Chain A
Amino acid sequence: MFLLQWITLNYSEILLSWLDMKSFLSTLIGPVKMDCENMPFFFFFPFCRGFVYDSRNNLQMRGLVILLVSKAAGPSTAELSFQHNMVSGIYSSQRSLAEITELIHTAFLVHRGIVNIGELKSCDGPLKDMQFGNKMAVLSGDFLLANACTSLAQLQNTKVVELISSAIGDLVQGIYYENSKSSEENCLTDDISISRWKEQVFLSHSALLAKSCQAAMELAKHSAEIQDVAFQYGKHMSMSHKLHSDLQPFVKESSSDTMAFSLNSAPAVLHQEFLGREAWIKQIREAQGKGNTMDYKKLREAIKAGKGVTSAIDLCRCHGNRALAALERFPPSEARAALANIVCAVTRFS
């Protein structure tokens, strides 16, 4: 994953001047073969420092995925007299859309950082600093969103504006769910089923990418069928990614045993579903020491002993397979192979 990490770190350069992927990679590491069978990315695992993500959120390569999907879909059969600006198999409008998606994602990273003034304690530092921080966070996030809106308008496509705007609405609702329960002290864990969990995670982690991929297809005037392919890929790949991320505390050998994990992560939610709410709450109480400290080691063991982890892995692979199935409907290409490799990366547990 070294390559992907490098790409992520130099993201803006890449977006602005997208080169042919093969030549780009070969300047880095020598000739590269990229077909599905060889899965050459995994050759670089020893050099891997892990995906570059922020704490609990997505791939910081949303834009990259959109570019790859754009390339993988190829030129559309419809006549595009206005779209003569195609570089390396990607239209300039699609490139712009990739940037827009990153702008939106970043805007919400910033808006997520806002604090509730009323909940601050003296140990949090001077109130004035927090208020100023909030002010900057709101404004910066708004600035990024405004830029995204302006760029969207410039695409001159009302369907795309509608799609991406609705994705913003989805993202807001998803983040809202994330926030809602965390402040309640008595309820450390939601009483939700896995299907509800999937709905919420779709909003907070998948909707933006799925709809952006679809929008990229719309920009190239691809058929509804192709648009659906892109949507399904974006949706299922990001679901897999979230599940993969949630599973890390349970599958990584090197992770510290006492490391905290979210009680609303997939393995925990599935564990609760199998065990029943009462038994789960009981396990939580047993793991709670004095002064509300949580014995995460104990809780982790409890979850691992149940069916939560294995079914989360199954679910992850299931979404991965659906993403791969969607890809089958694109013609074979290096870009498609790269997209498949991403799925392999997020469904791999060892």
Chain B
Amino acid sequence: SKTVSDEKYQDPFQLGRKDLKNLYEDIKKELLVSTAELKEMCDYYFDGKGKAFRPMIVVLMARACNIHHNNSREVQASQRSVAIIAEMIHTASLVHDDVIDDANSRRGKMTVNQIWGERKAVLAGDFILSAASVALARIGNTTIISVLTQVIEDLVCGEFLQLGSKENENERFAHYLEKTFKKTASLIANSCKAVSILGCPDPKVHEIAYQYGKNLIDDVLDFTSCADHLGKPTAADLKLGLATGPVLFACRQFPEMNAMIMRRFSKPGDVERARKYVLQSDGVQQTTYLAQRYCHEATREISKLRPSPEREALIQLTEMVLVRDK
């Protein structure tokens, strides 16, 4: 497996830095609320402390597509807006997810619902979404509106899929992948597609951008992979009753896990037992293999674009994802 590249390549985060400067400030400007408290709630996660992984990908993709089309390295204002809107949609869904999961911490601080209560948290999420929609409309492109609205729909469907579960083992994995795509990959895939549409008229490029984003597996397959963490399905996910990649693979070797999955690890001792089974099985290796396949697919797609530092950065990112520590 590939390791993270050395100084030979530029740090992908550097390449997009200029465009993403003031990203969070600009997001806050979109959140025009008259009440101080509601404003505070909406601004809460846009504190600039995050790595801005998603906006970075979007901006790099925008550049790569622009270069491919006409050698322009400039990011258009509308493309930058897409990065902003994607981040807002993502955050709005996080705020709601935290209410749904009754979570009390995220990114090292208390959740919005923990501080202000569930009622206001839901409203804050709704407001961020509405502000994202207004910004989306202002780009003035109906195709872009359709592409990014798809994300909103997918996010909700993903949540519903998460609620349901399949008895049949084969169905279960397909169900899991579908849910995973809708919840996480759809945002990146469609954002990439959107900026490619804005940057280049060639539909083949749009498809490349979309496929890249779709295959960029993030923490989707429960990849906390730093060497020490390998083999540990996140306890938090299991407690939520979410069967992740390693668990689903392990289940094939240890059918006893079926019952645990169906009851969503609710019995005392389930989580521990699940972890043990995963460690004993080849669940992690299988998941790693699957993740690598996805990442190779992403690399294969993006390599079809004209060479550029941005294209290289995007390739690098697929590798980084594989070894990224949450």
Contact = CB atoms under 8 A, between A and B. Distances in A.
Interface of A: 108, 111, 114-119, 131, 134-135, 138-139, 141-143, 145-147, 149-150, 152-154, 156-159, 161-162, 165-166, 168-169, 172-173, 175-177, 179-180
B38 A176 contact: yes
A161 B133 contact: yes
> 7 closest Cβ contacts across the A-B interface?
A165-B133, A162-B137, A161-B137, A116-B117, A168-B130, A169-B130, A153-B149
Given A139-B159, A153-B145, 7 more contacts: A114-B118, A134-B118, A158-B139, A161-B133, A172-B126, A176-B35, A177-B35
Nearest to B97: A138
Interface in B96-152: 96, 99-100, 102, 117-120, 122-123, 126-127, 129-131, 133-134, 136-142, 145-146, 149-150, 152
Given A158-B141, A161-B133, A114 B127 contact: no
B70 interface: no
A139 B35 CA distance: 26
B34 interface: yes
A149 B142 contact: no
Contacts of B155: 146
A77 to B, nearest CB: 24
A119 B155 CA distance: 29
A172 B120 contact: no
How many B residues are at the interface, by size bracket?
35 or more
Contacts of B35: 173, 176-177, 180
Given A158-B141, A179-B120, A134 B99 contact: yes
- Summarize A's interface: helix, strand, loop or mixed: helix
A162 B99 CA distance: 27
Contacts of B235: none
A165 B120 contact: no
A143 B120 contact: no
B33 interface: yes
A147 B150 CA distance: 10
Given A142-B156, A146-B156, A119 B131 contact: no
A172 B123 contact: yes
A165 B130 contact: yes
Contact of A162 (B119, B122, B138): B138
B202 interface: no
Contacts of A156: 142
Contacts of B120: 176, 179
Contacts of A150: 149-150, 152-153
A27 B140 CA distance: 45
Interface centre among B35, B153, B160 (most CB of A within 10 A): B153
Contacts of A131: 102
Contact of A153 (B100, B142, B157, B160): B142
A173 B38 contact: yes
B133 A149 contact: yes
B299 to A, nearest CB: 32
A135 B113 CA distance: 13
Contacts, number: 121
B314 to A, nearest CB: 28
Contact of B149 (A118, A149, A157, A159): A149
Interface of B: 32-35, 37-38, 96, 99-100, 102, 117-120, 122-123, 126-127, 129-131, 133-134, 136-142, 145-146, 149-150, 152-153, 155-157, 159-160, 163
Contact of B119 (A116, A146, A157, A158): A116
A118 B145 contact: no
Could you tell me the dominant secondary structure of chain B's interface residues?
A: helix
A158 B100 contact: no
A214 to B, nearest CB: 14
B129 to A, nearest CB: 7
Given A139-B159, A142-B159, A172-B126, A115 B119 contact: yes
16 contacts: A114-B119, A134-B118, A135-B100, A139-B156, A139-B163, A145-B126, A150-B149, A150-B152, A150-B153, A152-B145, A152-B149, A153-B149, A158-B140, A165-B131, A173-B33, A179-B119
B122 A138 contact: yes
A202 to B, nearest CB: 12
B65 to A, nearest CB: 22
B198 to A, nearest CB: 14
A218 to B, nearest CB: 12
A169 B127 contact: yes
Nearest to B138: A162
B142 A158 contact: yes
A139 B160 contact: yes
B137 A158 contact: yes
Given A119-B117, A173-B34, A177-B35, A153 B99 contact: no
Contacts of A173: 33-35, 38, 127
A111 B118 contact: no
Contacts of A118: 117
Contact of B134 (A116, A157, A165): A165
Nearest to B31: A169
B99 A168 contact: no
A149 B89 CA distance: 12
Contact of B145 (A108, A111, A145, A161): A161
Nearest to A142: B156
Contacts of B123: 111, 172, 175-176, 179
Contacts of A161: 133, 136-137, 145
Nearest to A152: B149
Among A141, A145, A177, the most chain B Cβ lie within 10 Å of the Cβ of A145
A292 B35 CA distance: 29
Contacts of A111: 122-123, 126
B153 A172 contact: no
Contacts of A157: 142
Contacts of A117: 102, 117-118
Nearest to B95: A138
